[in-house]
Homo-oligomer: A and B are copies of this chain.
Amino acid sequence: MDLHLDLDGPRVRAGLESALRDAISGGRLGPGTPLPSSRALAADLGIARNTVAEAYGQLVAEGWVTAVQGSGTRVAERVAAPGRGASSAETAARGARYDLRPGSPDVSAFPRAAWLRAARRALNQAPFAALDYDDPRGRPELRAALAEYLARARGVRTSVESILVCSGFAQASWLLCHVLRIAGAGTLAIEEYGLPTVHATAVACGLDVRTLPVDGDGARLESAGDAAAVLLTPAHQFPLGVPLAAGRRAQAIAWALAGGRLIIEDDYDGEFRYDRHPLGALQAHAPDHVVYAGTSSKTLAPGLRLAWLVLPPALVEPLVAAKTIADRQTGAIDQLTLAELIASGAYDRHVRRSRLVYRRRRDRLVAALAARAPKARVSGIAAGLHALVTLPPGRTEEEVIAEAAERGLALSGLAMFGAGEPRHAPALVVGYAKPPEHAFTGAVARLAAVLA
Residues of chain A at the chain B interface (Cβ within 8 Å): 9, 11, 13-15, 17, 58, 61-63, 80, 82-86, 103-104, 107-108, 110, 112, 115-116, 119-120, 123-124, 128, 130-137, 161, 166-168, 170-171, 174, 182-184, 197, 200-201, 204, 301-306, 316-318, 320-321, 323-334, 436
A301-B132, A321-B62 are known contacts. Are A326 and B326 too (CB-CB below 8 A)?
yes
State the majority secondary structure of interface residues on A: helix
User: In angstroms, how far is the closest chain B Cβ from the Cβ of A22?
Assistant: 12
A137-B85, A305-B331, A331-B331 are known contacts. Are A14 and B130 too (CB-CB below 8 A)?
no
What is the chain B residue whose CB lies nearest that of A228? B11
On whether the beta carbons of A326 and B135 are closer than 8 Å, the reply is no
User: In angstroms, how far is the closest chain B Cβ from the Cβ of A130?
Assistant: 6
> Which 8 residue pairs spanning A and B have beta carbons closest together?
A14-B184, A11-B184, A303-B332, A171-B327, A131-B301, A170-B328, A107-B131, A85-B136
User: In angstroms, how far is the closest chain B Cβ from the Cβ of A163?
Assistant: 12
Instruction: Enumerate chain B residues within 8 angstroms of A197, measured Cβ to Cβ.
Output: 324-325, 328
Tell which of B62, B80, B304, B320 touches A332, judged by Cβ atoms closer than 8 Å: B304
Tell which of B63, B124, B171 touches A326, judged by Cβ atoms closer than 8 Å: B171
On whether the beta carbons of A14 and B182 are closer than 8 Å, the reply is yes
Instruction: Enumerate chain B residues within 8 angstroms of A83, measured Cβ to Cβ.
Output: 161, 316-317, 320
On whether the beta carbons of B326 and A174 are closer than 8 Å, the reply is yes
On whether the beta carbons of A168 and B327 are closer than 8 Å, the reply is yes
User: In angstroms, how far is the closest chain B Cβ from the Cβ of A60?
Assistant: 11
Instruction: Enumerate chain B residues within 8 angstroms of A330, measured Cβ to Cβ.
Output: 167, 305, 331
On whether the beta carbons of B331 and A306 are closer than 8 Å, the reply is yes
A170-B325, A306-B331 are known contacts. Are A123 and B133 too (CB-CB below 8 A)?
no
Tell which of B13, B116, B327 touches A184, judged by Cβ atoms closer than 8 Å: B13
User: In angstroms, how far is the closest chain B Cβ from the Cβ of A386?
Assistant: 15
Which of A86, A320, A327, A436 has its CB near the most chain B CB atoms (within 10 A)?
A: A327
User: In angstroms, how far is the closest chain B Cβ from the Cβ of A320?
Assistant: 5
